Structure 1
Amino acid sequence: MTTNAPKKAVILAAGSGSRLRPLTDLCPKPLIKVNGTPILHNALRNLEAVGVEDVTIVVGYRKDAIQYACGNRFGRLKINYVESTVFDRTGSAYSLWLARKALLSGDCYLLEGDVFFEEDVLRYLNVSDALDLAAVAPFESSMEGSAVTLSEHGLISEFRMKQTAAKLDADGPALFKTMNILRLNSTTLRQTIVPSLDDIIGSGGTQTYTEELLAGLIERGRLQLAAVRCDDLRWYEIDSADDLRIAESIFATASPRSSDGSFEHPIVG
């Protein structure tokens, strides 16, 4: 099934990347290079390739470097910047709240600025205009961070924060790593996501993370987030020097593309 890809995207890129020091002492994490390509440039090129026209980047740590590296236009993309002046003491939900004007402008891709991924991840997320979609992949022993379980219908049923290999339960439900790449439709953004962000920030929850926001909405039955499995695609979230080495190994060779440009959507869930 072919759908209309969102024309808007928001990238959260305000953090200091402390776990990547000393690499991030002078360079913000989104500009760390994987085999010569900055993480953020890879994301922007992929967004441009699927038809995005307008990207809002939330910046904070070494914001000038990001603005210099990306400019006001990147290829055919128009780039807008929103600055967080308190990036060192707030969570990603606060950065998302700062970008609420962009979130209210229509269907939107939402990305974290530390994920290196191939273009087809975004194409997989175009399986439906109606659903809210999150890219996931099997949780492997080398990974850590937020994980999810899936319902029999392919919906995310539960978030599990701060997962590590040591916490994996061989007898428990299958865990999937959230890739921090989502596609959210305009109705959900307007009626659920932005009002919830307003409530959280208004009540002082400035250290909340986006995953915690989503987890709470799912738990309360206010959000149905369909998982799009990207098991066959290359990607990696880069938080540490070990992550960077793994990402460079994964992307050591160019990604093959079909000569006729044909593409089949994956099954959701």
Structure 2
Amino acid sequence: MIEERGIDMPVAAPKKAVILAAGLGSRLRPLTDLRPKPLIEVNGTSILHNALRNLAAIGVEEVIVVVGYRKDAIQYACGNRFHGVEITYVESTVFDRTGSAYSLWLARNMLLSGDCYLLEGDVFFEQNALHYLNIVDATDVAAVVTFDATMQGSAALLSASGLISTFRTKQTAADLAESGPKLFKTMNLLRLAASTLRDLIVPALDEVIGSGATQAHIEELLAYLVERRGLQLAAACCDGVKWCEIDSAEDLRSAHSIFADAAQSLHPDRA
């Protein structure tokens, strides 16, 4: 892994964040028939409220939320200010037929305004995940955990120096057994520097969306930038941090179990 600075010596933490929260959440139906996935609750706290509280706790001042499916419910639940964080909404009107890269492209003005965090709106996590992003001595960082047999989805391989060397999509326990090198599950939490956003991320988004590939996902974009454009994306290993990517009813049940002691684990500053 990339060298860590230590909890008392973090890098300058971004004051801005982008949360992608436009999707249909179809795998969670019927729970998402009447409410968007980011408002699904884990032990009484919605996925989106948990993210906003954790961002506020580490000093984030401004968040753009990309909304689409049942956008009014999200705007009503969060308003223009939540826990001291100013919230701006960007609407995707084609959320039902576009991928996460398109949602990110809609937020490109925020991406061009400085360092920022990037979060997917289906990740329920404790605050320490963001601290781990900030203690890695690197310009751009992605949160990862060791891939195990209970996981599936996007994964990454790391170089000897702790940089992500490639991304793999749709990984399962079978892939884990055959992978050879150690696999790491991506948590869909990133810290990105202004220069990277300006010089690599936004131009690549313009290229992808301009080419008509509106169904592309962020993992595909990052894989292209890492493998073809020289993006040096460090990995912050968050093994031991409580988190859950919630795509299905089974994931939600797991989240309820993982965060059964949520009052303490989600907000250590209040313990």
TM-score (norm 2): 0.93
Partner of 2:26: 18
Match of 1:126 among 118, 127, 134: 134
Secondary structure of the residue that 1:228 maps to in structure 2? strand
Q: 1:140 aligns with which of 137, 148, 163?
A: 148
Aligned length: 261
Closer/same/farther in 2, CA of residues 210 and 244 from structure 1, 3 Å limit: same
Q: Which residue of 1 aligns with 2:198?
A: 190
- Which of 92, 116, 130 is the equivalent residue of 1:84? 92
CA separation in 2, counterparts of 1:178 and 1:259?
Answer: 26
**Where does structure 1 differ by over 3 angstroms across 4 or more consecutive aligned residues?**
256-261
Superposition map of 1:1-269 within 5 A: 1-128=9-136, 130-169=138-177, 172-253=180-261, 254-255=264-265
Of 216-225 and 7-16, deviating more is 216-225
Query: Does the 8 Å CA contact 1:129/1:185 hold for their aligned counterparts?
Result: no
Distance in 2 (alpha carbons) for counterparts of 1:56 and 1:258: 25
Q: Which amino acid aligns with 1:63?
A: K
The RMSD of aligned alpha carbons is 1.7
2: CA distance, partners of 1:40 / 1:87? 18
CA 260–251 in structure 1, closer or farther in 2 if over 3 Å, else same: closer
CA contact (8 A) 1:131 1:184 kept: yes
Q: Distance in 1 between matches of 2:268 and 2:30?
A: 40
SS of aligned partner of 1:206 = coil
Q: Structure 2: how far apart are the matches of 1:83 and 1:258?
A: 33
Alpha-carbon distance in structure 2 between the residues aligned to 1:257 and 1:108: 21
Q: Which amino acid aligns with 2:77?
A: A
Q: Which runs of 5+ in 1 are unaligned?
A: 262-269
**Gapped regions of structure 2 (runs ≥ 5):** 1-8
Q: State whether residues 140 and 191 of structure 2, in contact with CA within 8 Å, keep that contact through their aligned partners in structure 1.
A: yes
Alpha-carbon distance between aligned partners in 1 of 2:212 and 2:186, rounded to the nearest angstrom: 26
Q: Which string of whole-angstrom CA distances, capped at 9 and with x for unpartnered residues, describes residues 140-182 of structure 1?
A: 2221110001111000011010011232225611111000000
Amino acid at match of 1:30: P
* Larger displacement relative to structure 2 (136-145 or 112-121): 136-145
Q: Which moved more, 1:218-227 or 1:25-34?
A: 218-227
1:37-59 CA distances to partner (integer Å, 9 max, x unpaired)? 00000000000000000000000
Following superposition, the deviation at residue 258 of structure 1 comes to 7.3
In structure 2, the partner of 1:267 is none
Question: Given residue 4 of structure 1, which amino acid in structure 2 is its aligned partner?
Answer: A
Distance between the aligned counterparts of 1:90 and 1:256, measured in 2?
32
Query: Cα–Cα, structure 1 residues 220 and 259, in superposed 2: closer, same or farther, change >3 Å?
Result: closer
Shift, 1:257, TM fit: 7.7
Distance in 2 (alpha carbons) for counterparts of 1:195 and 1:226: 21
> Relative to 1, partners in 2 of residues 1:246 and 1:131: Cα closer, same or farther, differing over 3 Å?
same
Deviations 1:181-211 (A, max 9, x none): 0000000000000000001000111000000
Query: In 2 relative to 1, CA 171–124 (structure 1 residues): closer, same or farther, beyond 3 Å?
Result: closer
> How high is the sequence identity, in percent, across the aligned residues?
70
